[in-house]
Structure 1
Amino acid sequence: MSFNIALTGLNAASADLSVTANNIANANTTGFKESRAQFADFFLSNAYGVSDTAVGGGVRVGKVSQQFTQGAISVTNNSLDLAVSGTGMFTLSKNGAISYSRAGQFGTDRDGYVVNGSGARLQAYPPVAGGASFDSANLSDIQLSTSDNPPSPTTLLKTGVNLPAEAKVPVTTPFASTDPTSYNNTTSVTVYDSLGTAHPANLFFVKSATPNEWTMHTQIDGNEIGTGQTVTFNADGSLATPANGQIALPSYTTTTGSNPVTMTLDLKNSTQYGNTFSVNSLTQDGYATGRLSGIEVTQEGVVQARFTNGQATPLGQIAMANFANPQGLQQLGDTSWGETFSSGPVIRGTANSSNFGLIQSGALEGSNVDITKQLVNMITSQRSFQANAQMISTTDQITQTIINIR
């Protein structure tokens, strides 16, 4: 009986050493979670239960459990390196098979899909029309767009200028953009047509003889758009007309073959104070064609393609997963896990929400293995193995003594 009991001790110590060896071997594996061998004693029993004089049947490995504690996060400055700070796992798909991982070393394949080292594709919620929200009911592969971002024509030009209240009527009439004595002030901005071609637009402000009244002229490519527009101010310097601050300009036909440029001028932030002309704001909503300049991932897991024209296109929001019992997950290798009955059904969500941690782009979560702790455990397991081996040796000596009795 002692032989069998000591043998179970040898097997248990050997299993513990194997678990420790695996932890140490993966100490530098991204997203790796250490394991722990859990032991349980057992008694031999019969139909009448365990005898009062039973000394036990030895030890067994009850379970090898995963420890899903947070690993240290290190910065890599690679935008597709992702680390989860807090709870949650990445969702991956390979040929339709779903798996989960904390390892965020991602790159792209030849088709532009975001994949890990084994070729599994990172899953995300696809953007709905307009990109303002995401379809959380469906999963899709994230694919980085390599095409150009299409241009958008200018439709709204916002300007907030201060016109000097003490300005004098120009000495030259009528207005001519080539004659600085025919206007008081000017400013310029670049606008775009439907083909993304840039056009210089100039705004000229001419003081009229009527108090608090100005005439504004708009030119694109040196061509005046319509006639001068009258702008008036109240006695306190605030804008009086146009009442809503907006002026609809006539369409301008370009020479590039684009659609006519049709703009609305928004002057509601303009004022008439003091004796100084100033441009406080001057913006327009058009932009040229843009080429992909980089990928950005927010803390909420929103993957955006950045373009050279300053635009950002959302490609999806990374799908996060959690489980009621993560220790029940099945290890699949490649630092990934699969759902089982013991783990419970997957709980999906998004990063930086109430049930999930945030995502750090340009960073990786390292292994949660504590080398010092593992080395101490290795020594403990070694001593346990030696003690059980000594027990077998002692039992053998006792048995030999009995055999030698004459």
Structure 2
Amino acid sequence: MAFQQGLSGLNAASKTMETIGNNVANAGTVGFKKSQAQFADVYASSLIGSGASPIGIGTKLARVSQSFTQANITGTNNPLDIAINGDGFFRMADPSGAITYTRNGQFQLNKNGNIENANGSLLTGYPVGANGAISNGAAAPLRITNTALAPKPTDKYNVNLNLDSGKPVIGAVFDPTDPTTYTNQTSVGVYDSLGNSHVLSTFYVNRGPAAPGAGNTWDVYATVDGTPIGYVPPAAPVALTSIAFSTGGVALATPAVNANLTLTNGATSPQAVSVDFSGTTQYALEFGVRDQTQNGYTAGNLVSFNLSPDGKVVGSYTNGQTYTLGQVALARFADPNGLLAQGDNQWVETSVSGPPVVSTPGNSGLGVVQSSAVEESNVDLTAELVSMITAQRIYQANAQTIKTEDQIMQTLVNLR
């Protein structure tokens, strides 16, 4: 009798429709992964085996498999919306501390500065150590603290310039207030240990050749906020350093020299600043500063943050500096289909999925992440609607086998 086969076919078609309906319902769910009902045929057991030409007794649902294929990535206006491009899951810690995994990257900051999803689960990652380096320990809930970035006092100043070889030799005693006692001057803003800005000025005096046939020597003097460095007036001026040039205009040696800044505003004093004149030349060109850099900055408050492809959360501060606040952790599994679905786009590991490989984006086979973006559902509505029509036809066909079997039974009952 075909009643059993037809009934199993109706159940199979119904399960297929349920799976398709769930896919269609979640076509707009961020990070959703579509499912597919998979079936197996069924044979009746017998004491002497199944025989040479067995007829099955229908079909059964073998499993519902999820497809973890990559979906389209769409941009958003929220910097904490994160999309994974490639393999991996976000590693989440729920309010009870249990670890779950998701592809839904819609996050926001809670009142404690943790990055959480709509369910209150916290995104885990690697914090920043005291030295500013990413910790390589166990992943823990990420936290973005809105604390001020401490100032960094300037300790390096690099200046690359050209000194005009056509300028006259000056024999007068240097006086920073008298422009006739120096050839050229340039200034740069530097910072003390409190983040206050000071003006470091350097003065260049052409002293002429040290000996007949030699290149010129230039004395370099310095002041901070107008106060001479290296001597206290009315003592005789002391040069910060001297730069000797070859007859071809190239500096014979440009070692870095320390300028000790004397400060009286409560900051660390004296403050040593290494001044490096590498690349400085003396050609028949106008005086010019090709490049000058200093490595200090004032204090700053956090104004925004974004995510780099390797998962680093980078904060931007009011002083123009950026600072790494942490790094997102991702996890991947040997068999993602072995994960146990928990709803809300969450999965947990099982013995079938295997243990997670947890690392940073771009490492250990993991994908990269994209800020201000989300991964859409990977449901193809066109394919689902076609499958829906097919499932409907299968349901009708199985119903027809039951109807036909009923007609045959009726014929047998009516035999006389």
TM-score tier, shorter chain, comes to over 0.9
Moved more, 330-339 or 263-272: 263-272
Say if 1:247 and 1:402 are closer, same or farther in 2 by CA, change over 3 A: same
Counterparts of 1:280 and 1:141, CA distance in 2: 47
8 Å Cα contact 2:331/2:357 also seen in 1: yes
8 Å Cα contact 2:243/2:254 also seen in 1: no
Give the CA deviation at 1:390: 1.9
Give the CA deviation at 1:80: 1.4
Counterparts of 2:285 and 2:84, CA distance in 1: 57
Q: Which runs of 5+ in 1 are unaligned?
A: none
CA distances 1:41-65 after superposition (whole Å, capped 9, x unpaired): 1101123221446421101111100
Counterparts of 1:250 and 1:396, CA distance in 2: 104
**Map of 1:384 onto structure 2:** 394
CA distances 1:67-94 after superposition (whole Å, capped 9, x unpaired): 0111011122432111111111111111
8 Å Cα contact 1:45/1:51 also seen in 2: no
CA distances 1:30-50 after superposition (whole Å, capped 9, x unpaired): 111100011111101123221
CA distances 1:367-389 after superposition (whole Å, capped 9, x unpaired): 11110000000001111111112
**Matching of residues 28-177 of structure 1 within 5 Å:** 28-52=28-52, 54-94=54-94, 95-135=96-136, 137-170=137-170, 173-177=172-176
Counterparts of 1:59 and 1:283, CA distance in 2: 75
CA RMSD of the aligned region, Å? 1.8
Query: 3-state SS of the aligned residue for 1:21?
Result: helix
Query: Please, which of 203, 222, 247 is the counterpart of residue 235 of structure 1?
Result: 247
CA distances 1:163-201 after superposition (whole Å, capped 9, x unpaired): 111211348x33333332222111111111111011122
8 Å Cα contact 1:239/1:245 also seen in 2: no
Counterparts of 1:117 and 1:279, CA distance in 2: 55
**Map of 1:257 onto structure 2:** 266
8 Å Cα contact 2:158/2:275 also seen in 1: yes
Say if 1:368 and 1:349 are closer, same or farther in 2 by CA, change over 3 A: same
What TM-score do you get using the length of structure 2 for normalisation? 0.92
Q: % of aligned pairs identical?
A: 41
- 2:188 is the alignment partner of 1:189: yes
Give the CA deviation at 1:264: 1.7
8 Å Cα contact 2:36/2:66 also seen in 1: yes
Query: 3-state SS of the aligned residue for 2:143?
Result: coil
**Map of 1:202 onto structure 2:** 201
Query: Please, which of 307, 317, 322 is the counterpart of residue 312 of structure 1?
Result: 322
**Map of 2:403 onto structure 1:** 393
How many residues align structurally?
Answer: 401
**Map of 1:298 onto structure 2:** 308
Say if 1:280 and 1:194 are closer, same or farther in 2 by CA, change over 3 A: same
Moved more, 328-337 or 308-317: 308-317
Moved more, 349-358 or 94-103: 349-358
Query: 3-state SS of the aligned residue for 1:130?
Result: coil
8 Å Cα contact 1:156/1:285 also seen in 2: yes
CA distances 1:308-363 after superposition (whole Å, capped 9, x unpaired): 22332222222111111111111111112110111111122221235122111222
8 Å Cα contact 1:126/1:138 also seen in 2: no
8 Å Cα contact 1:167/1:275 also seen in 2: no
Residue identity opposite 2:251 in structure 1? L
Give the CA deviation at 1:235: 2.5
Give the CA deviation at 1:251: 3.5
